[in-house]
A and B are shown apart, each in its own frame.
Chain A
Amino acid sequence: MAYDQDLAFVYFGPTKIVFGAGAARDVDMEMAGLGCRRALVVTDPGVMKAGLVEGVLKALGERCAGVWSDVPQDTGIGVVNRAAAFAREKGADCVVSVGGGSVIDTGKGICILLTEGGGLENFEGIQLLTRPQTPHIVIPTTAGTGSEVTSMAVILDERKGQKILIVEHFNTPRIAILDPKMTEKLPPLLTVSTGMDAMTHAVEALQSIQREPIADGLAMQAIRLLHRCLPVCAQNGADLAARGQVQLAATMAGWAFGNAMVGLVHAMAHSLGAIARVPHGIANGILLPHVMAFNREEAAEGYAMVAEALGVREKGMDELAAAGAAIIEMGAFLRRIGHPLRLSETGTKEEDLVKAAALSLSDGAIVNNPRMVLDEEEVLTVYRAAF
């Protein structure tokens, strides 16, 4: 293994996982176990409309201090500050987030403000906090972001028009309740695109310059489960067993990338999201095999592990050949699950690619990519291959 020479790392993953169909109904018991009495429930209008919050509110009963459902697709500092003021007014001593990445990140921000006071604009940075924050229980309604187990929150600073990053070990959610029923009604495209977000987290963790054995193990199992079960979910969303395995995979991939970080796929997907509004999971999925081809030589060892997890590493294959097999299988997998294959299918215009390539070079994820990227022409070549 390449990592045994000067291996030194910190693995951090303190979140308790509660898994099972109907597990969301246990939220009151989990909350009581944390010693909390009044929860602010954070969600968004789409999740409310889908009826996914009702069961949680019923389970919480009088333990629910209030519901904040005004979370937009990209949450912001103003949203968090207003929600935290509401939570204080209601006397909340914990937060229960029911939703996807934006809702969960809003919940993370509220937890900081309930403990520390002030506005979230004062907490931009890394590991600034010195004590455990307000308890946070997360009930994801998508299976992809992994945010339920990471220390990171991405929040829009509305005044500056840019996203800020807050990374705090002390603010990692205490409990994630993974209830397959919460993802049962996800439509096929959202199912496969969020699933490919998770797949990308796992593959990029395995190729990262910060990869380490624990994250590698989690990433490998996440890939196996996604490879086996995401096609089932795409065909039959009501298959709760497959839904559950995909949720677990997303969480494992969250632990993997939360420790080992992500790379060029994410840098390019973030940039396409900013320039052409391509949804994050779709951009990740389309770009993944193309970036793997770009990284193949430098990441051959990690991709050979991807090939093993995908079941395409044949006996006698060297790492480079196995990496090639992984790339081919990833493309075939996208076709099997009905995921978009070309950026041109997403409304992206060719001129967007030039702007996105330039922006990618300044994205933080790029520093963890195994192949050093110094020139926007290199990024543009990958974008064009995926166009």
Chain B
Amino acid sequence: MAKYNAMTQEWLDAWKEKIATSKEYREIAKNWEGSVAIIVNPDPEKGIPEPIYVFTDYWHGDVRDFLICDKAKAESANFVMSGDFARWKQVAKKEVDSTKALMQGKLKLKGDLTYVVRNIKTVNKVIDLLCEMETIWPDEA
């Protein structure tokens, strides 16, 4: 299985491809519409010298843009989630449940929580597909 460096365009493309080709995702996500930005706070000791902005866009089972972007683009998303690198890594490895991480203040969300929770199966499937990838994390490289 190919390995990808986390939070690179190559990694995002591979993640997008996994989601786009998942029949299960297409079925689960048929009600989801809207973009989700991921903001990773800088952590120089873990190999993140600057904030990383990721823009992902989902539309009724389809996937659209998956981009490393600038701050303005990220903040234009329907849902903006931010947090420290270590937290994102825990979520991406399913060591921490994303909903729990939000409620416990480990991650922040700007946007309609109830919409996210209503579509939690979609959120979990996107994370499951990410977990299936072989990711090289900056602090492990």
Contacts and interface: CB of A to CB of B under 8 A. Distances in A.
Contacts of B109: 125-128
Given A10-B106, A261-B103, A124 B118 contact: no
A127 B107 contact: yes
B42 to A, nearest CB: 15
B113 interface: yes
B103 to A, nearest CB: 7
Interface string A157-201: 000000111010100000000000000000000000000000000
Given A124-B111, A125-B110, A126-B108, A167 B103 contact: yes
B111 A125 contact: yes
Contacts of B102: 126-127, 167
Contacts of B108: 125-128
B140 to A, nearest CB: 21
Nearest to A260: B103
Given A126-B108, A127-B107, A169-B105, A367 B99 contact: yes
Interface string B118-134: 10100000000000000
B111 A367 contact: no
Contacts of B107: 126-127
Interface in A330-387: 362-364, 367
Contacts of A128: 108-110
A210 interface: yes
Contacts of B106: 10
A319 B99 CA distance: 29
Interface in B10-50: none
Contact of B110 (A12, A124, A363): A124
A128 B105 CA distance: 9
Contacts of A126: 102-103, 105, 107-109, 113
A10 B114 contact: no
B105 A125 contact: no
A9 interface: yes
Contacts of A169: 105
A164 B108 CA distance: 16
B109 to A, nearest CB: 4
Nearest to A11: B104
Nearest to A163: B114
B113 A167 contact: yes
B86 interface: no
A8 to B, nearest CB: 8
Nearest to A372: B121
B105 to A, nearest CB: 4
Interface string A1-45: 000000011101000000000000000000000000000000000
B104 A9 contact: yes
Given A124-B110, A124-B112, A210-B100, A367 B105 contact: no
B117 interface: yes
A124 B117 CA distance: 14
23 contacts: A9-B104, A10-B104, A10-B106, A12-B104, A124-B110, A124-B113, A125-B109, A125-B111, A125-B113, A126-B105, A126-B107, A126-B113, A127-B105, A127-B107, A127-B108, A128-B109, A128-B110, A164-B114, A167-B113, A210-B100, A363-B118, A364-B113, A364-B118
Given A10-B105, A127-B109, A167-B113, 6 more contacts: A10-B104, A12-B105, A125-B110, A127-B107, A167-B102, A364-B113
Task: Kindly list the 9 A-B residue pairs having the minimum CB-CB distance in the complex, ordered from nearest.
Answer: A364-B117, A10-B104, A362-B118, A125-B110, A126-B109, A127-B105, A127-B108, A126-B102, A165-B113
